[in-house]
Amino acid sequence: MPSTVYQSSSNFHVIPLKSDLRKDTLIGAEVAFNDNADGGDESKLSHRVLDVNDLTDSDISLLRQALFEHSVIVFRKQLGIDPNTLPALAAIWDDKVQSHHSGEISALTATNNILSKNNASRIPRAKEVTILGQGNFDGYEGVPKLRLRHVNHLEFHDEPLSQEELDQGYTRFYRFHCDAPLYEKLPGKVTILHALKVPEAPQQKIKFEDGQELELDAGATAFVSGARAFQLLTPEEQEFALNTIVQYAPRPYEWIQNCKATSDGLSIATTGLEKPVDELTPWDPEKVQAHPMVWKNPLFPDRPHLQILGMCAKSLITIDPKTKERSVIDDLAEVRRICHSFQKRSMAPSYIYAHAWRDGDLVVFHNQGVWHTITGQLGDVYDSETTDEAEIARREANKRLMWQCTMASGVAPEPFNPVLKAF
Ligand SMILES: [Fe+2]
């Protein structure tokens, strides 16, 4: 197909990312409004933000196809979108979508609620939408005092970058994951991110074990295709992965609360720092989760996705395809070694798409088909008040404001290997 012919619908056309961005990732397309969208009424151009009520059947079909094919789709210039559009949009890709976010259910309307170290909050008029970022925002969306914090790599990785490396612009992948609480609630099919204010910071870079480097925008979100990751395994590893279920720890993010990440953001660096399971907040064995290692793509049944949340894995259960007997690996170091060895094949610039955010971007990604992570050092934590104009301007330039929405699904990710459905 010539590159100028795109898939299209009533209101949109899909443009795969250029090859220098797409590389070997299998990831990425832009979805643009047609010139004749809204009946070609130019006066409406500035109002072309997504509204679920405007979508035709052909639009919905195109958006489904685009997402499950390209894994990450980008709508530009969406400033002004209604935050309630995000949860409504999620239903396009999940006919079993639930009415709540896959994280905390309740909306946060109090002034200083802290969900975690990033001080994330929820939009009071759209309680399924989380506000994330960096910097101080007073009165934003009716929240009197937001003190958003981008995660600091120095407190995250087992072997942090040196000050010299930070000065040279190096950063790290923090935690490759899909958005999944892995306890009680099921992961959403998609996650939607929206950039309202992107920091004005110099480019940063990530160094890989073999010396290769990836240049990326400060605060870029990095994605790896689970489909490409599966292809990078040997036939024996693929066979193992297809027949294996990953058992996750109870309350896994509390379990690893004191642990530090490996330098590539794929795993936990050591063992022994996990909280004993009998010291966790009381948990119900029925709500602990296990998921297949390889997930099925809803529209491309021949495309297996390797989807492992390596940091939260506790044991591996492999089903013998002939005898149906189960064998269990529950030595934590070995579980992590296997998961890490599978996932690290993708740790090369050619397999990673790092989305360079622009104000107004709305990114939808196939949460059950890619792994993603934040990156970037976004400056200081501004606890002190200042009246210095240069300092105020510097803080303003460093600010970042994002929305995030990932709606829980009513069904678990489907195993690529149907044999695993019985386990
Ligand atoms: Fe995430």
Task: Say how many Å lie between the CA of residue 244 and the centre of ligand 1.
Answer: 24
Q: Are 197 and 131 in contact (CB under 8 A)?
A: no
- C-alpha distances in Å from residue 181, one per residue of 171, 248, 288: 26, 10, 10
CA 90 from chain center: how many Å? 14
User: Can you tell me the mean pLDDT for 216-232?
Assistant: 97
Task: Say how many Å lie between the CA of residue 179 and the centre of ligand 1.
Answer: 5
Task: Say how many Å lie between the CA of residue 42 and the centre of ligand 1.
Answer: 37
pLDDT for 151: 82
User: Can you tell me the mean pLDDT for 307-334?
Assistant: 97
Count Cβ atoms below 10 Å from residue 133 Cβ, excluding itself. 26
Q: In a 10 Å sphere around its CB, with 0-12 CB exposed, 13-18 middle and 19+ buried, how is residue 61 labelled?
A: middle
Q: In a 10 Å sphere around its CB, with 0-12 CB exposed, 13-18 middle and 19+ buried, how is residue 101 labelled?
A: buried
User: Can you tell me the mean pLDDT for 221-244?
Assistant: 98
- pLDDT tens for residues 324-366? 999 999 999 999 999 999 999 999 999 999 999 999 999 999 9
Task: Say how many Å lie between the CA of residue 164 and the centre of ligand 1.
Answer: 29
Residues with CB under 5 A from ligand 1 (ion): 179
- pLDDT tens for residues 3-38? 455 799 999 999 999 999 999 999 999 999 998 776
Task: Say how many Å lie between the CA of residue 111 and the centre of ligand 1.
Answer: 24
Q: What is the pTM of this model?
A: 0.94
Rounded CA separation 22/364 (Å)? 16
pLDDT for 45: 54
pLDDT for 116: 57
Q: Does the pLDDT of residue 136 top 80, yes or no?
A: yes
3-state secondary structure of 11: coil
Task: Say how many Å lie between the CA of residue 121 and the centre of ligand 1.
Answer: 15
Task: Say how many Å lie between the CA of residue 55 and the centre of ligand 1.
Answer: 27
pLDDT for 70: 98
Task: Say how many Å lie between the CA of residue 403 and the centre of ligand 1.
Answer: 12
Task: Say how many Å lie between the CA of residue 238 and the centre of ligand 1.
Answer: 26
CA 348 from chain center: how many Å? 18
Task: Say how many Å lie between the CA of residue 404 and the centre of ligand 1.
Answer: 9
Task: Say how many Å lie between the CA of residue 34 and the centre of ligand 1.
Answer: 31
- pLDDT tens for residues 161-195? 999 999 999 999 999 999 999 999 999 999 999 99
Task: Say how many Å lie between the CA of residue 124 and the centre of ligand 1.
Answer: 21
- pLDDT tens for residues 105-128? 554 333 332 235 688 889 999 999
pLDDT for 120: 87
DSSP state at residue 311: G
% the chain with pLDDT above 90: 81
Q: How confident is the model at residue 43 (pLDDT cuts 50, 70, 90)?
A: low
Task: Say how many Å lie between the CA of residue 102 and the centre of ligand 1.
Answer: 11
Structure tokens at 51: 């509204």
Question: Over the chain, what is the mean pLDDT?
Answer: 92
- Pick the residue with more confidence: 36 or 404? 404
Task: Say how many Å lie between the CA of residue 45 and the centre of ligand 1.
Answer: 32
Q: How confident is the model at residue 295 (pLDDT cuts 50, 70, 90)?
A: very high
pLDDT for 395: 87
User: Can you tell me the mean pLDDT for 379-401?
Assistant: 83
Structure tokens at 126: 């759209």
DSSP state at residue 189: S
Q: Are 213 and 205 in contact (CB under 8 A)?
A: yes
Task: Say how many Å lie between the CA of residue 225 and the centre of ligand 1.
Answer: 15
Rounded CA separation 149/407 (Å)? 23
Task: Say how many Å lie between the CA of residue 251 and the centre of ligand 1.
Answer: 17
DSSP string, 239-299: HHHHTEEEEEPSSHHHHTTT--B-TTSSSBS-SS-SPPGGGSS---GGGB-EEESEEE-SS
- pLDDT tens for residues 245-276? 999 999 999 999 999 999 999 999 999 999 99
Task: Say how many Å lie between the CA of residue 138 and the centre of ligand 1.
Answer: 25
Q: Does the pLDDT of residue 218 top 90, yes or no?
A: yes
Q: Indicate if the alpha-carbon torsion angle 381, 384, 385, 391 is positive or negative.
A: negative
Task: Say how many Å lie between the CA of residue 129 and the centre of ligand 1.
Answer: 13
